[in-house]
Chain A
């Protein structure tokens, strides 16, 4: 095994292209280092009895080790499983719908003859993505407020009793799923539309000559060529299955007590802990969240590799 000569033979020259691509990746890399890799050292806090000694770093270094004491609280609390159920349940539905609906719509928009109309529809669907959840929650409040809301006015006009929306658990899973879909739809479509636009037209021409219908074109050309992207998006979203959109689950239900069991997710719990409990406890929750997230992404990738090795990311 002469590994040295082996490596020499494999080493290609650094080209201009490489420089350009590296520069292109630089901002993202810096962002990741600053906001994803550096904060990781904070995970130590989960295993410490955090005390103040000076600056933040010396606090982390000088605090005593406390083993798994901070985790105790998370698993002792009765809510742990409710919260994990919500996080996984909602995300499971979001992932499913978040692939089904945008892909379907992307296919539809891709079929449009007028490129202009397609752009208009896409922009319209994209707009909600730019609204913050705080704004959205105020708008929803205008709909669902008990005594001033449009929804209850409407019910009253129909002769029904008004409903105290913010104290009724049963409606909220549907609300949240709908709101999430409404907001993320346009954003989710972008990637799929780009893929569809990137497909070489000659495939379709050949298919049309063979007499393929629109549906057959979609089934045998578009979808197979999109598969790779869909699987990639799926793996990425599975990796974030323990993370939820904090704004959706905290702002929209307005921190209502009655809705605790259907709206509290891990992120919301961590936030509430930062308010009342200690940093160590909040870090412990975040730690569990990260580890479980990592495990799920590896499992998802492993499953995909078993089924279709070409689509797997690692």
Chain B
């Protein structure tokens, strides 16, 4: 027995040492993937154990930027190389953009943060940010952003910086875009003409009932006017509630509630009526029957709801191959902490290049040329400049990166077909936006971690079917509520109420 213990000890020490050595070893590998990619246009996504902290050639550092996007096209590396050639000359920084697909992003980003894989910049949002900051994954940029990238600091309004603060400190660079939320409903124009839908009179869910039934009756059995997916449900359904960046819709504060009372959202009468209507639509064949298990949205949907801004239809028309979309706002514009945190780029606490990363983000936010390459792809292949860097024409629909994840809209070109003053209109929306009464407050979940994990697990068990109308809310909502309460929902609500009262004292 003694002997085996001894052997085990030796073995375990050896094992620990090997892993430690392996870790050291990997950090002395230089990152060559970019050079090869740049010179021979090698295929996409070489996931070598690239190490973010080693200059690629001589003294130009290459930053690893993890972001979200679609399928990587063949010319991706060429496009990034073109970008790098430009930025290397301009500020002496290159990037290696790594893309997690829309569906994998959740899991992948968690894994990267948890395993301490080296990265410099990471796209994140309100669903993850709080937890990641709590874990200590991101660098504190409060002073650095002012000393290293003053232009960036001055470009973004104080209100938006405040929305990213956790415990009074800045841990990420927010994307200054349509930082207030405006909810739009979008119809495919061909159906609007065919069924004489008067979009101007549509103000609420109830007003959608007639057009949907008309479309269903006219188009036949296997046509679904409202095509939903499990992840999204009916987009924007809970807009009236500020979720305090918790990312758990059943708990929230009404955006216009001056007393800032934390409430159980599912018990709200309007929410319940909306859910009943969704369920009725599901039963009437308005919603696609496979919605609760559908993961990818169809292209060219006859109707969808989305957070957007004027001119967004131009992009959708290209991406979805639809001749014309009619969109009209139904809610907002409104600022909440979550809408501001809808797109953030944070810098790793372990990055050796924090200053360079900030410089790069500053350039993204202030230099139209780089901004357009990031948003549209390879110049001359994915897009052509029509009017300098102000208007571009997109020639492909394969570019995987989403403009909203990168940097401000206000130095981005307008896509041909969208109104030329598109970004001015977005700016106006931001200026007109009312603020949620809880703006600036973000819940600190460090003390109620178990309850949050449990309630989220319960919500995940039911939300696909509830939010697509597949389950009957009259039966399910009481059941969901009792399970949420068993999982510690009341504890979270109590903690949230205390925190929010303290914050606004």
The residue from A78, A164, A256 contacting B289, defined by CB atoms under 8 A apart: A164
Is the C-beta of A182 less than 8 angstroms from some C-beta in chain B?
A: no
Tell yes or no: B107 within 8 A of A by CB. yes
B19 at the interface (CB under 8 A from A): yes
Tell whether B20 is near chain A: CB-to-CB under 8 Å: yes
A163-187 contacts to B, CB under 8 A, are: 164, 166-167
Distance in angstroms between the alpha carbons of A79 and B27 in the assembled complex: 42
Q: Does B457 lie within 8 Å of A274, measured CB to CB? A: no
Segment touching B, from A11-19, A48-56, A113-121, A190-198: A48-56
Cβ–Cβ contact B453 & A73, under 8 A: yes
- Contact for B222 among A54, A69, A147, A256, CB less than 8 A: A147
Interface residues on A, range: 35 or more
Which interface class (under 10, 10 to 19, 20 to 34, 35 or more) fits B? 35 or more
* Chain B: CB-nearest residue to A45: B114
Chain B residues packing against A (C-beta within 8 Å): 11-12, 15-16, 18-20, 23, 27, 106-107, 110-111, 113-117, 131, 135-137, 222, 230, 288-290, 292-293, 295, 349-350, 449-450, 453-454, 456-458, 460-465, 470-471, 483, 486-488
Q: Are A275 and B106 in contact (CB under 8 A)?
A: yes
State which of B20, B463, B486 has its C-beta within 8 Å of the C-beta of A257. B463
Shortest C-beta distance, B66 to chain A (Å), equals 15
Q: How far is the CA of A279 from the CA of B458 in the complex (A)?
A: 18
Name the A residues within 8 Å of B12 (CB-CB).
41
Cβ-neighbour of B460 out of A37, A51, A276 (below 8 A): A276
B460 touches A281 (CB 8 A): no
Residues from chain A with Cβ under 8 Å of B488 in the complex: 76
Complex Cα–Cα for A148 and B293 (A): 14
Most buried by A among B16, B295, B457, B470: B457
Closest to B294 in A: A254
Given A52-B116, A257-B462, the answer on whether A281 and B453 have CB atoms closer than 8 Å is yes
- Is A277 a contact of B457 with CB atoms below 8 Å? yes
Closest-by-CB residue of A relative to B349 is A52
Name the residue of chain A whose CB is nearest to the CB of B446. Answer: A49
Inter-chain residue pair count (beta carbon < 8 A)? 120
Q: Which A residues form the contact surface with B (CB < 8 A)?
A: 33, 37-38, 41, 50-59, 69, 72-73, 76-79, 145-148, 164, 166-167, 254-258, 260, 271-279, 281
CB distance from A232 to the nearest CB of B (A): 24
Given known A166-B293, A275-B106, contact A52–B113 (CB-CB < 8 A): yes
Query: Which of B16, B117, B137, B461 has a CB less than 8 Å from the CB of A41?
Result: B16
Closest chain-A Cβ to B74's Cβ sits at a distance in Å of 24
Q: A256-B292, A257-B292 are in contact. Are A78 and B116 (CB under 8 A)?
A: no
| CB neighbours of B450 from chain A (8 A) | 69, 72-73, 76
- Residue ID in chain B nearest A260 by CB atoms: B461
- Residue pairs across A and B with Cβ atoms less than 8 A apart, 30 shown, are A41-B12, A41-B15, A52-B113, A52-B116, A52-B135, A52-B137, A53-B136, A55-B27, A59-B114, A69-B450, A72-B450, A73-B450, A77-B454, A77-B457, A77-B487, A79-B457, A146-B290, A166-B290, A166-B292, A167-B465, A257-B464, A258-B470, A271-B107, A273-B453, A274-B110, A274-B111, A275-B110, A276-B456, A276-B460, A281-B453
Per the bound structure, the CA–CA distance linking A271 and B350 in Å amounts to: 27
